[in-house]
Amino acid sequence: MIEQQQLTPAIFLDRDGTLIEEVNFLSRVDDLRIFPFTKTALEQFSAAGFLLFVVTNQSGIGRGLFTAEDMQNIHKALREEFGSLIRGFYYCPHLPDAGCDCRKPNTALIERAAGEHNIDLSRSWFIGDKDLDIQTGVNAGLKTCLVLTGYGMEHKETLGSLPTLIADNIGEAARKIVTFLQD
């Protein structure tokens, strides 16, 4: 008899404006600014049993503004800062009108991560600062949290779908989600 592998919940995180300060088409590690509360939030999520993944649209690659290597250097810097807290970085390099299935709000990147890491989507969350992030979570059947950093304040007023939670930042999101689990 083959034992069924345990599925684990995950937190899918937008990158720019959620984990780090929004920099339009971030292409240089020198311009990377991590919010001071991000690492503690990631530690709280991890301690609560979540696997953590970054899911990000990076159309700057498709636009020729920076290379995939430039983006990988930023992700390498984030790995160095956060250690093994983030299990993987999933990105879409395509232009908004490319018609791909990996660009948020499509769910191919979440589905790929779920398949590769045995994720229980019914117990997972998507956290981001844009309507696009909330819609991605809804499309994937996840609980959602809008953070008011980055574009969050602006997008709060025009959301197509209401998030499960709204938080001032990723730090407050971690506290609310961990509390949400305990209720």
| Helix (H) or strand (E) run with residue 170 in it | helix 170-182
Residue tagged active-site, from 14, 129, 131, 133: 14
Residue pair 110/140 in contact (Cβ under 8 Å)? The answer is yes
Active site residue 14: yes
Count CB-CB contacts under 10 A for residue 163.
23
Q: Please give the Cα distance from 121 to 12 (Å, whole number).
A: 10
Query: Which helix (H) or strand (E) segment is 172 a member of?
Result: helix 170-182
Catalytic residue flag (residue 168): no
The phi and psi torsions of 166 (rounded to 5 degrees) equal -125, 135
Whether the link from the prior residue into 105 is cis, omega within 30° of 0, is yes
Q: Which of 16, 129, 131, 133 is catalytic?
A: 16
What residues are annotated to the active site?
Answer: 14, 16
